[in-house]
Amino acid sequence: NQIIDVPVSNVTGFSRFTTNAGLVTNKGIELLLGVTPVRGDITWNVDLNYSRIRNKVKSLPESSNSITYYDQGRSALRLVEGGSIGDLYGYEWKKNENGDVIIGANGLPTLDQSSYVLIGNALPDWTMGINNGLSYKGLALNVLLEWRIGGDMVDLSEINSIRNGIVKFTEDRNKVVVWKGVTEDGSPNTKQVVFDESTYRAFGINAHHSFIIQDASWFRIRNIGLDYTIPKSILGKTFKSLKIGLSSNNFYLNTPFRGYDPEALAFGSGTNLIGFTGRNTPNTRSYNLRVNVGF
């Protein structure tokens, strides 16, 4: 059972109402594993967390063929019977029966705004975290590694950046280009256009989101910390204990995502409006020095 806000006619005096909107089945694997591969003077503890979930929308209310619970204007989150939670819909280029992009009389691809089509899904294929703890005498090293593989993301800030000509895509401004595709009669496009400000601004405003959509996979070192406990034989009688530590949060990120951080959802983490970024601040990297003293 899915409790979501469903759009209703404005004549009711409301724009949405909260309802039990359908039936969804979930199947998957969740694995928790803790092992100690090395014991002795050097100890190595490993905790692994793996998750792979699949869902399917089995049914919707009889009055609904689909439920759009967020519409950005050129892309949307939509529930369709037989689909999945997190399905992203958007506009696509007009194509012929062979799948070739149709180029308009102006020499640019033509956007098909007749209906949304499925362009991706925001949920990851799988996620995994591995927490490593190494200790040797008074030294302790902890490293938390995390993976998110799969899942799509629409970067709303990239749309604005294209419109303003400040991304790599617009580096060829003021050059003559020929867009790959065919004309209405099926012949290869040969029309030359100047990729100037008016072109990429129009492209940004009317961009189809199957072009903007990106792979939101990532690998990150979420946290790394090194602590050293000073031996009591060195401390003398002044201190009972002394520990010095260095740590960093969000230490490293590797991702094919072109924006700042695909984890920074546009509407925050406490919402079902997933699949959009660009309206929130990315995660910050921090460095910390700790000194714990016992008297």
**pLDDT tens across 92-109, in order?**
888 999 999 999 998 988
With contact defined as beta carbons under 8 Å apart, do 111 and 94 qualify? yes
Q: Is 114 inside a domain boundary?
A: yes
Tokens of 197: 């400000």
| Total structural domains within the chain | 1
Cα 37 → chain centroid: 33
In a domain, 112, yes or no: yes
Which of 2-11, 196-205, 249-258 shows the lowest mean pLDDT across its residues? 2-11
In this structure, is residue 120 part of a structural domain?
A: yes
Cα separation, 254 vs 32, whole angstroms: 24
- In terms of average pLDDT, the best of 88-97, 215-224, 227-236 is 215-224
- Over residues 42-64, the pLDDT tens digits come to 999 999 999 999 999 998 877 77
- pTM assigned to the model: 0.82
| pLDDT surpasses 80 at 66 | yes
CA dist., res. 286 & res. 262, Å (int)? 18
- Find out whether 88 and 266 touch, Cβ atoms under 8 Å: no
> Chain centroid to CA 275: how far?
6
Question: What are 77's two structure tokens?
Answer: 């989150």
- Structural domain harbouring 250: 24-294
Mean pLDDT over residues 232-246, rounded? 85
Beta strand 276-277 with 152-155: parallel, antiparallel or unpaired? parallel
